[in-house]
Structure 1
Amino acid sequence: ASSNTTYTMFNQAYEQLHNNAHITFRKEYDQVWRAQYLAMHSTDQGGPFRDSVTCICSDICSTRLSLFILCPNGRTNSGLNDDRWIPNIFPPNESIPNRIKKQYQFIGQLMGMAIRKKHYLYLKFSSLLWKQLVREQITIEDIENIDVQSFTMINEMEKTIKQNNSSIDTNEFLSSILDELRFEVVSSNGQTYELVPNGKHIPIAISNFKDY
């Protein structure tokens, strides 16, 4: 981990609390840890604890950690929800490092603690992520709400196909757009992944556009 990550409030809390969080976060008292700031010698009666929770949430939704990234709308400064954060993307053919998994688990334990203790966690996650956490159905609109640019071209092509399904001019127009596309996608972190095996070599055509 970089020095910036090491000295975040989240990392300090994780290192000191994650091993026993499944026990300590379930205890009856509201304040499940005591926070002590350097150069502050007062007893933690709740103020430093609440401030530490706020700082932890701020770290989670920031570039100080690599657990979450700003949604595409935020990075392109377009559309709605440009201040929402989504989980970072990891290559599908590689396993997620165990430490990263444990840090995600720790965030879940913080959420559970907050629900039980009625603490407020200011986590700027997208609605898509919240829906996944409560097992609600994900819709196309949920994705479009955080990545409007990815849907602009698709929506325009679908609209054109519906309006002029058999037009020669339409076919030529679509072919000119589809010519450079392949069965691959650019993820939210800017990496390109194949949608199907060998997808980078499969061109998009009018005949397979719906599959794409």
Structure 2
Amino acid sequence: LSRHLVQHHRDKGRVDHDHKWSTFGVVMNTVQKDNYQALRITNSNSKAWNIKMLGEGSADAGGPFRDSISNLTEELYSKCLPLLIPTQNNKNSHGWHRDCYTIDPSSTRESHFEMYKFLGALMGMAFRSGTVIDLKFPPIIWKQLSGDTLTMDDLKGTDIYAVQAIQSLKENKSKFPKEEFEMGIDLTFTTQLSNGDTVPICEGGEDRPVCYEDVEEYCDLVLQTRFGECRRQINKIKEGFEAIFPVGLLGLLSWKEIETRVRGPDEIRTVPICEG
């Protein structure tokens, strides 16, 4: 791996859509043989791959392996990979989980799906071995791995303005008569996804106005659309995870336990080494 070449591409503003030059891509291409079986390590002292940093005189006794994990994780949060984007709460610095990133619903190339599968395999490796990978996902992502039912609070944890809009719409319906309500809104059956794209939430939704009697249906469809906006990408992540650890067993754990096994604990406990 040439980190100088990686930085050159990044300085040019390039995006590694085809996993060719980024640290993430180089590692992916190295370990994807045999459905990522090299990642089935069982402790954090093991290495899933050997890596040589070109021009840096490094021999991989463990340091370059750990560096490559840090580098590819940092790339996930940058614009050089097409997989993750800041949540709306992150972008607006408002609401819960402001440091989190979510899946880009517009990343739908075949090469993107293969990269999501590798991301899932990395998560499986971290879960299985204790090799920490600091993936800053909001609960709405972890809950889709554990199979938890999603609620409005989960959307609130990634896009509080979307939830406030739903709540405001319902409150206005209860406050105003039909004529006043419909004079005061100009909505169609569309919603905005995490990446800012506006999409219809039902067939012909872009041409269907939201009327007084449609409010509950509209709000339900918004939630369904937002909860499912990254379903295909999540399924690929699960597929990669399954190659390392059985996804079906994740239902025995809470989403928070899964997050902790992948990311490590939120707080590091310290104990005194002597009394007094």
- What TM-score, normalized to structure 2? 0.67
1:36-115 superposed matches below 5 A: 36-90=52-106, 96-115=108-127
Q: Which runs of 5+ in 2 are unaligned?
A: 1-8, 219-276
Shift of 1:57: 1.3
In 2: Cα distance, 1:176 partner to 1:54 partner = 53
**More off after superposition, 148-157 vs 134-143:** 148-157
Q: Which runs of 5+ in 1 are unaligned?
A: none
Shift of 1:38: 2.5
2:195 to 178, 183, 189: 189
Q: Residue 132 and residue 38 in structure 1: after superposition, are their counterparts in 2 closer, same or farther (change >3 A)?
A: same
Which position in structure 1 is the counterpart of 2:224? none
Does the residue aligned with 1:157 lie in a helix, a strand or coil? helix
- What TM-score, normalized to structure 1? 0.85
Q: 2:169 touches 2:215 (CA, 8 Å); kept in 1?
A: no
In 1: Cα distance, 2:42 partner to 2:158 partner = 38
In 2: Cα distance, 1:4 partner to 1:157 partner = 39
Which position in structure 2 is the counterpart of 1:201? 207
Higher RCO (C-alpha under 8 Å, 6+ residues apart): 2
In 2: Cα distance, 1:210 partner to 1:199 partner = 15
Q: Residue 14 and residue 28 in structure 1: after superposition, are their counterparts in 2 closer, same or farther (change >3 A)?
A: same
CA deviations 1:125-154 (Å, max 9, x no partner) are 111001101111111100012111112222
- In the alignment of these two chains, the number of paired residues is 202
Q: 1:61 touches 1:123 (CA, 8 Å); kept in 2?
A: no
Q: Residue 90 and residue 77 in structure 1: after superposition, are their counterparts in 2 closer, same or farther (change >3 A)?
A: same
> What letter matches 2:183 in structure 1?
S
Q: 2:14 touches 2:80 (CA, 8 Å); kept in 1?
A: no
1:8 corresponds to 2:22: yes
> What letter matches 1:176 in structure 2?
M
> What letter matches 1:16 in structure 2?
T
Q: 1:187 touches 1:193 (CA, 8 Å); kept in 2?
A: yes
Percentage of pairs with the same residue? 25
Please provide the CA RMSD for this pair: 2.2
Shift of 1:67: 1.0
Q: 2:87 touches 2:159 (CA, 8 Å); kept in 1?
A: yes
Q: Residue 18 and residue 160 in structure 1: after superposition, are their counterparts in 2 closer, same or farther (change >3 A)?
A: same
